[in-house]
Amino acid sequence: MKAFVVDHYGEDGLAPADIPTPTPGRKDVLVDIRAASINPLDKMVRNGEFKQLLKYKPPFVLGHDLSGVVTAVGEDVHDFHIGDEIYARPRDSRIGAFAEAIAIDAADIAHKPRSLSFEEAAAVPLVALAAWQALVETADLQPGQKVLVHAGAGGLGSTVIQVAKHLGAFVATTAHTKDLDTVRALGADKVVDYTTQDFTQELSGYDVVLDSLGITSLHKSLAVLAPGGITISVVGPPDPGFAKQLGQPLLAPVMYLMSRKIRAQAKKRGARYSFFFMRADGNLLAHLASLYDQQILRPVLDRTFSFADTPAAMAYVEHGKANGKIVITH
């Protein structure tokens, strides 16, 4: 089958390849991929930013989000059948959405939201799982609390706004001038135009900040937290809890040192810092599918590329051109 593989780490590391179609194991399903989406995580993995933590061995197929049709099931799989339309974010050890087919652990998939096309469904697994897990599990968000979501027009931010509103929060976000109406339509209560305004001068008393921009934004975000609040970063630095999540406790001291400064600054303000890295969860995807079918959540797509143009789709995201998700179609 045709695929795009990381044959070496680096910006030029993604290349087309012909590889064997995977064989599903006892607990797996084989999926004919109809669409996949690009995430910033794809760039980070391709560049080797997680190579000490996630032990991929080049060449490996890249891609973390997909939708498709089940073409084979393992003998221990009973909840899915040939012909089922599914969507998934495969677990980290088994990524590979930039291909014609993939074998996935059945625990990581869910039936595709009926109301969404394959393109729309491929855009949401990672960001929807991340939004729910960060807000519900990490932040323990309660109705009436205040949430700041940076980059609200992006693939993750646009989903976090919607999930936070569904959970009953007051939501602020930062966005470019051209995207202000878009994020308001998603449900943002307070919008800060980052081209003309400093969010630290506009906001205060927030219970949760979700940052996807980087260390400068992360440190500034501490200023808007209420006592007892939490700032969550999806780009780092990793903290000791991430070592536990990876099942690599020996890395905890290293991650303790890497996050020491931001954790200390948060503690001075009576707040907390947490690094967040989402996990695959088919049961949660099934719940999220119902929210999409009820139109409580909706996908936000920027544009689609053909499968053959996967490298161009990656470049489009890397150059910061995307508002919403970029989807690859077969």
What the chain holds in terms of domains, given with CATH numbers, is 2-124+299-329 (3.90.180.10), 126-275 (3.40.50.720)
pTM of the full structure: 0.95
Q: Which residues contact 212 (CB under 8 A, 6 or more apart)?
A: 40, 150, 151, 154, 156, 157, 233, 234, 235
Segment 36-64, tens digit of pLDDT: 999 989 999 999 988 877 889 999 999 99
Q: Please list the alpha-helical segments (H only) found in 116-211.
A: 118-122, 125-132, 155-166, 180-186, 199-202
In sign, the C-alpha dihedral spanning 5, 8, 11, 12 is negative
Helix (H, G, I), strand (E, B) or coil at 38: strand
The widest CA-to-CA distance across the chain, in whole angstroms, is: 58
Q: Cα–Cα distance between 224 and 222 in angstroms, integer? A: 6
Segment 107-153, tens digit of pLDDT: 999 999 999 999 999 999 999 999 999 999 999 999 999 999 999 99
The encoded tokens of residue 254 equal 């290293």
| DSSP type of residue 99 | B
Q: Cα–Cα distance between 225 and 147 in angstroms, integer? A: 9
